[in-house]
Amino acid sequence: MTTRTELLEIIANGENSGVEFKRDHLRTQDLARELVAFSNLEGGMVLLGVEDDGTITGLTRQDLEEWVMSVCRDKIRPAIVPFFEVVRNVEDNNDVAIVRVTRGYDVHALWHNNTNRYLMRVGTQSREASPEELARLFQQRGSIRAELRPVSGATLANLDRRRLRNYFGDIRQQDVPADEDEEAWQSLLINTEIMTEEGVTVGGMLLFGKTPNRFLPHAGIDAVAYSGTEQDYDAQERTALRGPMTPLLSESGDIVENGLVEQALDFVQRNTRVVIEAEGGRRVERPVYPPDALREGIVNALIHRDYLLTSTDIELAVYSDRLEIVSPGRLPNGITPARMRAGTRAARNQILKDVMRDYRYLEHMGMGIPRKIVRGMREHNGTEPGLVEQDERFVVRLFAQAPGA
């Protein structure tokens, strides 16, 4: 239960992304609007009996709790069950009701005039979500998967048949249709979600596209190497890494054409020094960053980034003291950096994850981050890697050496 002192402090801090003030004599759709917006963000509370300026005017509506519950049942789709309480005698014998909702497991809508209206909380305002914001909301709640969306204008001809033969024939060890049997290829790729009836999926284009960036400009890695510890226009190297995620393999399994992972590893290798150490009386060359940790960071960025964010690429930045891999989008499905360190598994893009795992880029147990990145960096040079969620991006930060070394 909220105490009077706690409530007064909340009111004194004013409205924000999680708090809204309202008189208790408001329209049903207005209360539903605020609760929907909060539920579609991170949750929040409506304080009934408080003016916009924070003045406490108290409650006047009879059967207030019953009315609030009816609003949440009849005006919100799917219905919400809020937490409701009344704090008595907050100021001048006036009571205040608190209607609190948590972050929804579903995307909620205001049902009014036989129409669903999807709202989001943006600062102190509740407004309708744009089509892009709404798509991301449904993705975050697991209702849609961006990787299954058809790519406009992309057909079977835009996929690299060589890589597809590699994957199905050599990696998965299954029968592969003849090149001229377009119908059999279509059937195989539709059944494995690389295509739909409408064309190539986002996941299929990212994995096996001849030129993914022709259709998905944000599919790739922007790589830059700086000579110092800060960003500088005078970089050692800047390049856009482009192409399919998967490599092209020879019959013996050797890489004939690099995929994005190998391109990124090569970029880091040519832009980082080699550490010379004495081992058993011999001089031994050692890379600044352990290959397994570096590969895991790159692969995770490729398969877990939010591909609904179309305005930015993955960023790979090499500094003199560290390396950063920046993946667009928030972490998926309630994952946090702490849960990642513990080995919690959740996939935003399941097809990308499954195919890259088939190529053995990922561990089947999903323990790559705690084992390869966290433990790998500790064993390599005694440093603690950074796993940081910042606004609309996730950053993996590897350090070249321990502080003071």
Task: Give Dmax over CA atoms of the chain in angstroms.
Answer: 87
pLDDT of residue 142 exceeding 80: no
Class of domain 215-399 (CATH, top level): alpha beta
pLDDT category at 331 given cuts 50, 70, 90 is confident
Which residues in the chain are classed under CATH 3.30.950.30? 4-130
Categorize the per-residue pLDDT at 286 as very low, low, confident or very high, splitting at 50, 70 and 90.
confident
Upstream peptide bond of 78 is cis (omega within 30 degrees of 0): yes
What are the start-end ranges of the E strands in 280-372?
282-287, 314-318, 322-328
pLDDT digits (tens, 9 = 90+) for 355-392: 999 999 987 666 788 999 999 999 999 999 999 998 78
The per-residue pLDDT for range 94-118, each reduced to its tens digit, is 999 999 999 887 899 999 998 999 9
Q: Give the mean pLDDT of the chain.
A: 91
As a whole-number percent, the residues of the chain with pLDDT over 70 amount to: 95
pLDDT band at 232 (very low <50, low <70, confident <90, very high): confident
Dist CA 396 CA 385 (whole Å): 7
Residue 259 pLDDT grade (very low, low, confident, very high; cuts 50, 70, 90) = very high
**Does the structure show a pLDDT above 90 at 252?**
no
Nearest Cα neighbor of 349 from 299, 277, 294, 284 is: 299
Q: Is the model's pLDDT at 141 over the cut of 80?
A: no
Name the β-bridge partners of 126: 121
DSSP string, 101-142: EEPPSS--EEEETTEEE-EEEETTEEEEPPHHHHHHHHHHTT
Per the model's pLDDT, the better-predicted residue between 204 and 391 turns out to be 204
Q: Are 378 and 301 in contact (CB under 8 A)?
A: no
CATH 3.30.565.60 in the chain, residues? 215-399
What is the Cα–Cα distance from 160 to 162, expressed in whole angstroms? 5
Amino acid at 378: R
Dist. CA 146–CA 245, nearest whole Å: 17
DSSP state of 331: P
Contact residues for 66 (Cβ-Cβ < 8 A; gap 6+): none
Long-range contacts of residues 58-62, Cβ cutoff 8 Å, at least 24 apart: 58/92, 58/93, 58/94, 58/95, 58/96, 59/24, 59/86, 59/94, 59/95, 59/96, 59/97, 60/24, 60/25, 61/24, 61/25
Residue 405: predicted pLDDT: 58
Task: Choose the CATH number for 4-130 among 3.40.50.10190, 3.10.105.10, 3.30.950.30, 3.40.50.720.
Answer: 3.30.950.30
pLDDT tops 70 at residue 80: yes
Q: What is the pLDDT of residue 403?
A: 66
Does residue 275 carry a pLDDT above 90? Answer: no
| Distant-in-sequence, close-in-space partners of 248: CB < 8 Å, separation ≥ 6 | 160, 162, 163, 166, 255, 256, 257, 259
Residue 238 has pLDDT above 90, yes or no: yes
